Structure formats: C-alpha cells, structure tokens
Chain A
Amino acid sequence: MNLRIGYYFKELISWMDDVFSPFWDFLSDVIYWMVTSLEGEFGAVPPYVLIVIFALIAWKVAGHKIAIFTVVAFLLILGMDLWWPTMQTLSLVIVSTFIALGIGIPLGIWASRNERLNIILRPVLDFMQTLPAFVYLIPAITFFTIGRVPGVISTVIFAMPPAIRLTNLGIRQVAEDVVEAALAFGSTPNQLLFKVQLPLALPTIMAGVNQTIMLALSMVVIASMVGAPGLGEGVLTGITQYKLDVGFEAGLAVVLLAMFLDRVTEALGKKHNN
C-alpha cells in the first residue's frame, strides 16, 4: 500500500510555486534586501568600533562581566579571521528573528484570546519544530532558489514556535483576578492587552525571544546548505572536506556569538521582570 502523501505534498508545493509566483518573488526581494543591507552596515563599520558598540550594549543591559566577555569573544572571532562570516551570520539571525517575532508575537497574542486558533496552532507548532529542518529546506528552495532567502525562511519557520508559544502562555498566565479587575473598571480589549496583559507577560515573552534567537542561531549550519553565507559555510566545509580545524573554528565562533546573544537577551528579560 502506498498513500503517496509525499507525492501530493510535492504537487501542492509546485502548484503554490506557480500560482503565487509574484508573491514569492516579492518576498524574496524584501528579505534579500534586508539581509544584505544589514550585512552592508556591519561591513561598513570597522570591527574594533563594532566590538566597542557590542560591549557597550552588553554593559548597559547585562553588566560589566558580560561586557568583558563580549570584548574577549569578538576579539577571538576577529583573531580567527572569522569576522566577516560572523557578521553575515549575525545579519541572517537578526533578520530571521525580527521576522519570526513580528509574526510570532502577534500570533501568540491572538492565540491567547482565541481558543479555536489555539487548538489549531498546537499541532502546527509541533510540526514546525519537529519536522527535520532539512525537509522544509526543499520547498524553500522551490520558492526562493538558493542563497540567503531560503536560509532566512527556513530559519524563521524553525525559530518562530517559541515566540508564539511563550507569548500565548505568558498572557494566559496573567492572574485572572487582575484581568477581571481591569475589566471591571471598564478597560477596552486593547487597554487590557497593552496596559495589563503584555506588561505582565513580558518576562515570559522575553524568554520566548531568547529561545527564538537561540534556535535561529542553531539553524545557521543548515541554512548554509542552501547557500546562505556565514559561519555555517565553515562548519559545512569542515564536515564535507574533513577539515577539522576549519570546522572547529567556525563552530566555536557560533558558540561565542550564541553566548553573547543569549546573555544579553536573557538580561533584557530579567530587567523587565524587576
């Protein structure tokens, strides 16, 4: 017996490719522009200046210890001669996270207020998170060929679920008596959301943001398989050509970048908590 689910999926994807072709092209252009512009910005600033800026951000948000770590980490990256691929990866992560949050947080808010959407969304989120990432690289290539754009798209899909889940959870966790009080004094639905629910859900939402960034970073290697430039290339070279030194250096740079982003966003969440 063969249900040929794969065949129908393939047919569906090629149908979508044909019918929505102008939309895919438009989306592709926008994303390409976003990533390359950001890369351009990072490329235009001398590395030492950028390191100072990163350190200042870390110092302001997370304290002097993380600031010192930031300086050391990025000097190490510079020393390994991986500065430019790191900036490319950072650009891809920032754009992907930005899109993932831009869709995920509103969707999470909506799911928190709409039980039906919540029920529909759950299996979809499971699907997005557990389907091996390689599998949705394939339709991404169909729609967007190769390069940065399918990398961003697959990263967005993979990294978005925690943003949706934790936004939804954070809003639902706001104590019922507080919500009831806000309604009893005549809050509109928007006032309830922006003055009560979102501020109180913020620590949880920030945990979701942090998770989304981490997942986005973990996608860089996979994204490089469809030709997205950056640190993933080095890792891929390490595997395919058995160059342990290249692979290890690129991997280390990913870890350092991840730690920087994690500590800073984590501190951001805690700051709002107090």
Chain B
Amino acid sequence: MGTEKIVIEDLYKGFGHEPGKVFPLLEKGLGKDDILKKTGHTVAINNASITVEQGEIFVIMGLSGSGKSTLVRCVNRLVEPTRGKVLIDGEDVLKMNPKELRELRRRKIGMVFQRFGLLPHRTVIGNVEYGLEIQGMPKEERRKKAQSALDIVGLANWAGSYPENLSGGMQQRVGLARALANDPDILLMDEAFSALDPLIRKEMQNELLELHSRLQKTILFITHDLDEALKLGNRIAVMKDGAVVQVGTPEEILTNPANDYVADFVQDVDRGKILTAGSIMITPEVITSKDGPRVALRKMKETGLSSVFVVGSGRTLVGIVTADAVLTGDNLETKDLSTVLITDVPTTSPDTPVNELFPIAAETKIPISVIDENKKLLGIIPRVSILAAISKKEVIQ
C-alpha cells in the first residue's frame, strides 16, 4: 500500500448548543435517538476512523442521514468536528488557523458537490477559474489553466456559456473541471453523480475512473448507491448512524459483510459484476507433467474428483487429465501423460468478473483455470462455484 493521505481518527460531530454534552451518553452506549430525545442534540458522526491511501478511490457509502456528507465536510472543515483528529499528509487540519485552512483548501483539495454549486452569474470558464482567481493568479495564467481543465472534462467549447444553459451532466463536468483546475492532490466528491440521469451517471463514473487512472488523484467519494460504490471504490467504508460499520474492498464487503446491516445492504447487488474469478477460485490438486497416468488416477481417487490439473515448472498450466481418458483402453499402462493430456482447457485471468465466466462455463464440463500473465496456474473454478458465488452462498473450499 502507498502512503497515508487522509487519516480520520476517532471523529465525532454533534449538532446542537453544547455538542460536548453527548459524549458521556455515548460512552454509556445510548443510541442516536435516545440522545436526541434527552439532550436535543444530533450525533452526526460517532467515533469514525478511516485512512485513505495516496492515489486510491475511497468510497464512503451509507443511506441519507448516515453522516457521510458530514464526514467528508470534516476533512476540509466545512463542518467543524466536535472531537477527534483529521490529518492530511500528516498535518493536523483541526489545528490550522483560518489562513492555513484557506491555503489547504486552495492548493490541496478540490471539491465536487451533489447540486453542483456553480456560480450562476459567471460563465463556465469563470466558474472553473474561480479557485485560481481567489488565489490572486494573473488572469492570463488562470484562464489557460481553466481552459485545460475544461479540455479534460470535454467542455472546451463551452467556456463562454452560462451554467443555466447546460444540462445537468455538463454542469457537473464544470464542477469537476473547477475542482481539477488548481491541480489538487485530493478530490472530495459529495454525491457528485447522484443528481444525474442513470445513463449520464454511468458515463461520468467511467470517465472518473479513466481520469483517476490518468491523474492519480486521491479521491474521497461519497454515495448512497451501492452499485456506484462497488464500481468506483478501491476500498469502501459503510456508514450507519454516524459510525463506520465496515471498511474493505468491494469484494470483502460483498463476501464478508461485517454485520446484518451490511449484509442487508449488499444482498440485492449483482454479485457477478463485482466478484472476480480470483475471489471465487479454489486451489486445485495438481500433478506435474513428469507424472504418469497412474499418479493422476491416484490423485483423483484421493480428492474424489474426476479430473486433475497438470502443471510444468513454475506451476505453469500444461493441461488436464480426466478419469475417463485414463481408464479408456490401455492408457493406464503408458508411461507418460501425452496420450491422455487435454491441453485445450478454458482459462481466464484473476480479475475477470464472474459474469463473464458464464459463457465459458456453458461450453465445457472442465473447471475453468485461472492463470496469470505468465500462464502460472493460480486456481480453478468448478462450474458449481460460479453458481454458488452468484447466489451468495459461501464458496466451499
């Protein structure tokens, strides 16, 4: 893993006159609703800790009211946390004075908002250059930078238009260009695509992924949409009632939900899109290409399977030997495997989504072998495992 870019530690945020009042009650284990009833205070963030690595897309997911938008605003202190720690590149954000905080917002962080937050009285380019303008950058220089940010999001020809004349998707591209204009390390995206039509949304997600692979920004992305979270996130934090319930990769969240809440959340997901061959493969029993048919047969008897994989040096995949072939005629009497070896076996890479394995599985009875770029056998996927993975039963190892 890379270096830690954003660290949030034991963060609390209470809304009300005396947010400090809620801590003793929280420590007693009272819930959000009880505290609201007793003190009139809302606990928006309850002891949240996350670490965002340099260059990753970290998604915070939760339903409305889970505190995710408040949490992301604590990173640049649009919302002032009540207690806890926020570090960016090791610097304590909460200890910054107003001037240092402004510098942080100007140089290091770009933010994209759900409802765009564009300035309606400024043109598209006027919006994009706003962040540079308030830093006092000369007009010519900032225009140039703003124009190249517009190029990135594909709106180069719209510089002179006003936001109200643009579609929602285009407005959000302007929002994105504005966030990119001052070339920040970090992008905070608060439900950035939630207000867009499904098709535009998908398009924007793909573009963001493409952009991320090109620019390598650290992105903290907030969403209530699980599919979006699974698609974009290198890692995902699931929030509920202001607390972080689970942090993990999309596959970890899907295959190993921390509690019923997360499990409920993920139950309707199209798992085949998220789970990869690598995550459902099992370790195969193998023989080497020097072994004979008898060894193969013994291995099959030991494992109770009707086939066995054959590997060469460095565990490279050679092929498969089936029980049927070994027992046909006098094949068992031959010394080497070549007569019974099937080399035309279906293969796939470890990061292929499970959905794409269906066509392969439909055409063959042999388990699909998962190999890396050097043809090294990493694991195999029997057809039953594919079905098990999709129906979210635990894969039996």
Measured CB to CB, the residues of A under 8 A from B are 175, 177-178, 180-188, 191, 195-196, 199-200
How far is A185 from B182 in the complex, measured between Cα atoms in Å?
9
CB contacts (< 8 Å) of B130 on chain A: these are 182, 185, 195
User: What are 28 of the A-B contact pairs (CB < 8 Å)?
Assistant: A175-B115, A177-B115, A177-B117, A178-B119, A180-B113, A180-B117, A181-B111, A181-B113, A181-B118, A182-B130, A183-B105, A184-B76, A184-B111, A184-B113, A185-B106, A185-B111, A185-B131, A185-B182, A186-B103, A186-B106, A186-B131, A186-B135, A188-B102, A188-B134, A195-B130, A195-B133, A200-B119, A200-B120
Q: Are the CB atoms of B118 and A200 closer together than 8 Å?
A: no
**Residue numbers in B under 8 Å from A178 (CB-CB):** 117-120
Contacts of B131 in A (CB 8 A): 185-186
Categorize the interface residue count of chain B. 20 to 34
A184 with B78, Cβ < 8 A, contacts A177-B117, A178-B117, A196-B119 known:
yes
Complex Cα–Cα for A188 and B105 (A): 11
Chain B contacts for A183, CB-based, 8 A:
78, 105
Q: A180-B113, A182-B130 are in contact. Are A200 and B121 (CB under 8 A)?
A: yes
Q: Does B240 contact A (CB under 8 A)?
A: no
Q: A177-B116, A185-B134 are in contact. List 11 more A-B contacts (CB 8 A).
A: A177-B117, A180-B78, A181-B118, A181-B119, A183-B105, A184-B188, A185-B178, A186-B102, A186-B103, A195-B130, A200-B120
Q: Which B residues touch A180, using CB under 8 A?
A: 78, 113, 117
Contacts of A175 in B (CB 8 A): 115, 117
Chain B residues with Cβ under 8 A from A181's Cβ? 111, 113, 117-119
- The interface residues of chain B lying within 8 Å CB-to-CB of A187 are 102, 134
- Within B106-142, the residues touching A (CB, 8 Å) are 106, 109-111, 113-121, 130-131, 133-135
Shortest Cβ distance from A184 into chain B, in angstroms?
A: 4
Report the separation of the CA atoms of residues A200 and B76 in the bound assembly, to the nearest whole angstrom.
25
- List the B residue with the shortest CB-CB distance to A272: B121
Residues of A within 8 A of B102 (CB): 186-188
Instruction: Enumerate B160-203 residues with CB–CB distance to A below 8 Å.
Output: 178, 182, 188
CB distance from A158 to the nearest CB of B (A): 32
How far apart are the CA atoms of A178 and B164 in the complex, in Å?
14
Closest chain-B Cβ to A204's Cβ sits at a distance in Å of 13
Chain B residues with CB under 8 Å of A191's CB are: 134
Closest Cβ of chain B to A189, distance in Å, is 9
The residues of A that contact B134 with a CB separation of less than 8 Å are 185-188, 191, 195
A200 to B163, CA, bound (A): 14
Our pick among A177, A184, A200 for the contact of B109 (Cβ within 8 Å) is A184
> How many Å lie between the Cα of A258 and that of B115 in the bound state?
42
For residue A185, which residue of chain B has the nearest CB? Answer: B131
Which residues 50-108 of B sit at the A interface, judged by CB distance below 8 A? 76, 78, 102-106
Q: What residues of A have a CB within 8 angstroms of the CB of B116 in the complex?
A: 177
Q: Which of B113, B115, B119, B131 has the largest number of chain A CB atoms within 10 A?
A: B119
| B117 neighbours in A (Cβ, 8 Å) | 175, 177-178, 180-181
Please name the residue on chain B nearest to A196 by beta carbon: B119
CB distance from A207 to the nearest CB of B (A): 17
Nearest 3 pairs of A and B residues by beta carbon: A181-B117, A186-B106, A186-B105
Instruction: Report B-chain residues with C-beta under 8 Å of the C-beta of A177.
Output: 113-117
Which of chain B's residues have a CB closer than 8 A to the CB of A196? 119
Give chain B residues whose Cβ lies under 8 Å from the Cβ of A182: 119, 130
How far apart are A29's CB and chain B's nearest CB, in angstroms?
Answer: 41
A4 to B178, CA, bound (A): 64
Residues on A with beta carbons closer than 8 Å to the beta carbon of B115: 175, 177
With both beta carbons as reference points, the residue of chain A lying nearest to B105 in the complex is identified as: A186
Q: Which of B117, B118, B188 has its CB near the most chain A CB atoms (within 10 A)?
A: B117
Q: Name the residue of chain B whose CB is nearest to the CB of A273.
A: B121
Report chain A residues within 8 Å CB of B119: 178, 181-182, 196, 200
B115: nearest chain-A partner, CB-CB: A177
- Per the bound structure, the CA–CA distance linking A48 and B118 in Å amounts to 48
User: Is there contact, CB below 8 Å, between A199 and B121?
Assistant: yes
Residue ID in chain A nearest B175 by CB atoms? A181
CA distance A180 to B112 in the complex (A): 11
Residue of B nearest to A199 (CB): B121
Q: Which residues of B contact A195 (CB under 8 A)?
A: 130, 133-134
**What CA separation (Å) do A192 and B194 show in the bound complex?**
27
Q: From A181, which residue of chain B is reached at the shortest CB distance?
A: B117
Shortest distance from the beta carbon of B102 to any chain A beta carbon, whole Å? 4
B380 to chain A minimum Cβ distance, whole angstroms, is 50
Which chain A residue shows the least CB distance to B184?
A185
CB distance from B301 to the nearest CB of A (A): 67
Q: How far is the CB of B117 from chain A (nearest CB, A)?
A: 3
* A206 CB, nearest partner CB in chain B, Å: 14
* Closest residue of B by beta carbon distance from A179: B117
Chain A's nearest CB lies how many Å from the CB of B190? Answer: 9
Interface string of B219-254 (1 = CB under 8 A from A): 000000000000000000000000000000000000
A89–chain B nearest beta-carbon distance, Å: 36
Q: Which residues of B contact A200 (CB under 8 A)?
A: 119-121
Q: How far is the CB of A193 from chain B (nearest CB, A)?
A: 12
Smallest CB separation, B175 vs chain A (Å): 8
In Å, the complex CA distance between A222 and B284 comes to 101
Q: How far is the CA of A187 from the CA of B178 in the complex (A)?
A: 14
Separation in Å of the A259 CB from the closest CB of chain B? 30
| Chain B: minimal CB distance from A169 (Å) | 18
Rounded to whole Å, the gap between the CB of A64 and the closest CB of chain B is 27
Inside 8 A of B188's CB, which chain A residues have their CB?
A: 184
Closest residue to A192 on the B side, CB-wise?
B134
Smallest Cβ distance from A93 to chain B, in angstroms?
Answer: 30
* A contact residues around B135 at 8 Å (CB): 186
